Amino acid sequence: MISEIQIDESIKQLFSEISFSRKPEGLYDPLRYMIDGGGKRLRPRLCLTAYALFNDELTDEILQPAAGLEVFHTFTLIHDDIMDKSPLRRGNPTVWTKWGEDGAILSGDVMCIDSYRRIAQAPEDVLGKVLKLFNHTAAQVCEGQQYDMDFEKIEKVPMNQYMMMIGLKTAVLIACAAKMGALIGGASDEDAGNLYRYGYALGLAFQIADDWLDAFGNEKIFGKPIGGDIINNKKCWLTIKATELDEEAMDIAMAMPVETEEQKTAKIKAVKDIYVRLGVDKMAEEEIVRLTDEALQYAESLDLGNVRFEMLKRFADKLIGRKN
């Protein structure tokens, strides 16, 4: 059986060997910059974990498609940072701030193309299923990004609409990683489907955890300034839930000016105080646990034995930072 240590070592080696050494440098330097910048690598890790449930050896038939998922995710980050005008990513300057918006757009485009090249290296007997899955997922991610931008123009967004949006923007790619690994690993359609559902529920939990961290996380660990969603009036799980519970207080707090650093700090504190008063921070944590438990129910339905179930449980717990 493939161990988690083997998976970690394979991922380290895989991404250390990825080289965007072609010219012109202005196109490919941002790609190297982003890949070398690290990240959780959770999508390739989940893809390899799902594959390991059904196989005893990691080969190129899974390694390159797994890398393709991370390359695609990185492409979305480059473009997302342009749209959000984010200055930092993982604690470092974003691509558009270093190379300009035009250069960042083009580098993101070539990363998207590279992701398809890698995923197309899946075995021929499942290549059709893999490409159909990835094509559908890639379109959904773009749909989710568009909804996210649309929501910025709407004063109030219902929670069910927000959950739909993060399902498309975040959860489907995590779900795709799980199902792709299973398909390449030879899983049945039923098992591959349950792994997709596992990944989807986990992806929702992951995004809500990210929303929580934006308000209550450690900036050094989080990799970007705390309170960004509050300063930018961005809809997230916490702002939507708090608005449901006390719309008047949230409207006043979210309308606070942010022209100076002192004003930004005051607005972040005011909104966080509302979160704590209403218990929204605790509600978010409870929703994260609920969704993670839902994911683990799908993992249990695979009936692959306790050792393999524990692999999926450890992945879930590590992803959302749960200790037990």
All structural domains of the chain with their residue ranges: 4-320
pLDDT tens digits, 288-307: 999 999 999 999 999 888 99
Specify the CATH class of 4-320 in words: mainly alpha
Average pLDDT over residues 56-78: 93
pLDDT band (50, 70, 90) for residue 324: very low
pLDDT at 163 over 60: yes
Across 120-129, 134-143, 228-237, least confident range? 228-237
pLDDT of residue 322: 53
Nearest to 33 by CA among 97, 124, 80, 82: 97
Global pTM value: 0.93
How is residue 148 written in tokens?
Answer: 């996210």
Q: How far is CA 225 from CA 58, 177, 278, in A?
A: 38, 29, 24
Nearest to 264 by CA among 279, 251, 254, 274: 254
pLDDT at 223 over 70: no
